Amino acid sequence: MQTENFFVKDKNLPRLDLFLQQKYKDKSRSHIKNWITNNCVFVNNKVAKKSGQILKENDQIMINFPPNIETKAMPENLPLEIVFQDKDLAVVNKPQGMVVHSGNGNFAKTLVNALLFHIKDLSGINGVLRPGIVHRLDKNTAGLLLVAKNDFAHINLAKQIENKTCQRKYLAILEGNIKEDSGVVETHIARSLKNRTLMTVCDSTKGKLAITEYKVLERFENFCLVEFNLKTGRTHQIRVHCKEILHHSIVGDIEYGGSVCKLVYKSDEKSLGQYLVAYKIKFNHPTTKKDMEFVIDLPNYFIVLLEKLRKNF
């Protein structure tokens, strides 16, 4: 087992996880969290119990690196809908239930595994575990994703997302009806202290700015179809805003207060996931400088529920 020792030289009392992220920039946040969770990190010869442990100047850090089971993502012949591709980028339609890239020990059947099989060249900015990945979708959110095939395109597309010039629109079916026909939700979002796998609204000193525009497209007796336009791209942003600010969770989003829709599933069945689809994306091509827009048809499970709602309404 490989071991590394070093001392904290920062006087700003950094958190342990953030300190390690700065030192090991090629590792993901979940990767570093796994080190801490699995008792691989020691502070002053004591096992670190929390990712958020505050460090002091001259603290000694020791890491017993676990065996590297998988050093890079491997190609897998998985179904992948490529909506568009050229020498610089690809636009793909991720299905519901597929993880974008490896994490928490999951190295197989991800979108990255499929990309490596179907697309020859991918940008290397995000390392060997996340090649080509410019932005992400949750496992149970379906829809359009941008993939970079070289570093120049990756940097350009990432900057468009950061500068809010890349337009990403989503459709969701919500439980109940939002009072206003349209609006803008602006909050700050951070990881939940109660459940570290979820996010929550917080004050500006603890989280990142999250802005979501929404517009109600159709209303039904106990549901509504809503279009969302992301102005920022925070983890679980739409799902958090629906639950905590609009007070109407997305159908099937059990983690954020949603329930299984009885119009689709029997009482003993589980939901496949949230009825949330990234259906439209618009951006400026990094090389040609032409505006490009892609729109996908809604997945069948989404259409089935809409048809039932329209029939009952």
What's at 245, amino acid-wise?
Answer: I
Q: Tell me 27's DSSP state.
A: S
Does 138 participate in catalysis according to the annotation?
yes
Length of the chain, please? 313
- Copy the structure tokens of residue 23: 């030192």
Distance CA 252, CA 260 (A): 5
- Which of 12, 16, 56 lies closest to 37 in space, CA to CA? 16
Pairing of β 89-94 and β 142-148: antiparallel
Q: Tell me 250's DSSP state.
A: B
What's at 276, amino acid-wise?
Answer: L
Taking the CA of residue 95 as centre, how many other CA atoms within 13 Å lie in the half-sphere pointing to its CB?
A: 12
β-bridge partners, 255: none
Distance CA 171, CA 305 (A): 13
- Residue pair 166/232 in contact (Cβ under 8 Å)? The answer is no
Chain centroid offset of residue 141 CA: 9
Active-site position among 17, 59, 88, 138: 138
Distance CA 164, CA 150 (A): 21
Helix axes 29-37, 16-23, angle to 10 degrees: 120
- Residue pair 257/244 in contact (Cβ under 8 Å)? The answer is no
Distance CA 134, CA 121 (A): 14
With DSSP H G I counted as helix, E B as strand and the rest as coil, what are the percentages for the chain, rounded to 5? 20, 30, 50
Tell me the catalytic residues: 138
